[in-house]
Structure 1
């Protein structure tokens, strides 16, 4: 009976050790992937200066004149604010500025025009409710544009590093507990 117990204990220790090592290896791979994708975006982000924006005006651009015909496009919200000592155009995120520099906010679903228009109206109403809000500006440009929300800020970096850190800590704890269990078993067997 004692021999079967020792063999079962060794199998359990081996499995727990394999689990801990696998968790550590997965955490190292996740750190490598995050270090090559998310970390460079965070380091290259120039939108680091937090400031206060005051709403000046908002307008919604619905349609475009193209060859004498009105072509419906997605509704585009344009927000003008005063920040960093002058007026500036507010963009929702870095991606919004890259997609269309004439729009401050682009709705999520562009397939259904009515839903997109309702989404833009809702965002416009929120801006009119809160005339003063925090925004992010850059020191490299002339200050004619600001961001409402950073995609690659410190909170996003911490959020993406949470699970790999959890995996690494859990794996190291499992390995340490297996080693401690073996040491205590050896000490108990010697006495």
Structure 2
């Protein structure tokens, strides 16, 4: 009787244990597969985010470079191209004086004016004229060689102009090279051009470097994506050949 009553219980217990172990194994395999899938997807998503940010940075660099080109073009390149102060002449300093009547300083205040008279000699009609520091000084104060910065204290302005006059007086009677504009102001001269070719090239250097860096960054990211796509296609083709063989 004990054998007959025990045998049915054993016949039911064995299949139940096998089914439970099989279910646990399947869950373990599914968990491992999902973990491997998650591990394989995580680097791809991180690399994709990094590539998108790199491309965005590259386009931002190119846009900023275009903006810099516009600013440099209007402030430096255009005045350099339109400037006609190119003909060289010999200037002999004759007289310097501080004018009694002060001139306007950008419409903010008035400042003293240091005037310098020179004799121009060279090709073309020359004679006595005024000397200026650069072409911008000709546009702002046509009758002055030097004006101080706009300040509030009159004593400081006068002291600064007197100091420049003392230094300039050491060149009285000397002859030096200056630049003239024969088309508009043939009897005036400037010591140097504010915007020369070297200044223009240095100003254009930074926008060019910014634009080149942006193009290089975008190009490298696109090349990396293309090579990654080719390698993935090659791996799929090899797997297909292996599976067909």
Compute the TM-score of the two structures, normalised by the length of structure 2.
0.63
The DSSP-based 3-state class of the residue aligned with 1:104 is: coil
Tell me whether 1:74 sits opposite 2:111 in the alignment.
yes
Aligned to 1:53: 91
Tell me whether 1:177 sits opposite 2:220 in the alignment.
yes
Give how far 1:183 is off: 3.5
Matched positions, count: 183
Larger Rg: 2
Distance change (3 Å), C-alpha of 1:37 and 1:97: closer
The DSSP-based 3-state class of the residue aligned with 1:137 is: strand
Tell me whether 1:40 sits opposite 2:83 in the alignment.
no
Deviations along 1:83-104, whole A, 9 cap, x unmatched?
Answer: 3434331112333323333221
Aligned to 1:151: 194
Give how far 1:20 is off: 0.6
Greater share of strand residues, 1 or 2?
A: 1
- Which of 99, 102, 107 aligns to 2:143? It is 102
- Which of 181, 192, 195 aligns to 1:138? It is 181
Name stretches of at least 5 consecutive residues in structure 2 with no aligned partner. Answer: 1-38, 103-109, 236-245
Compute the TM-score of the two structures, normalised by the length of structure 1.
0.77
Aligned to 1:70: none
The DSSP-based 3-state class of the residue aligned with 1:143 is: strand
Structure 1 Cα separation of the partners of residues 175 and 47 of structure 2: 64
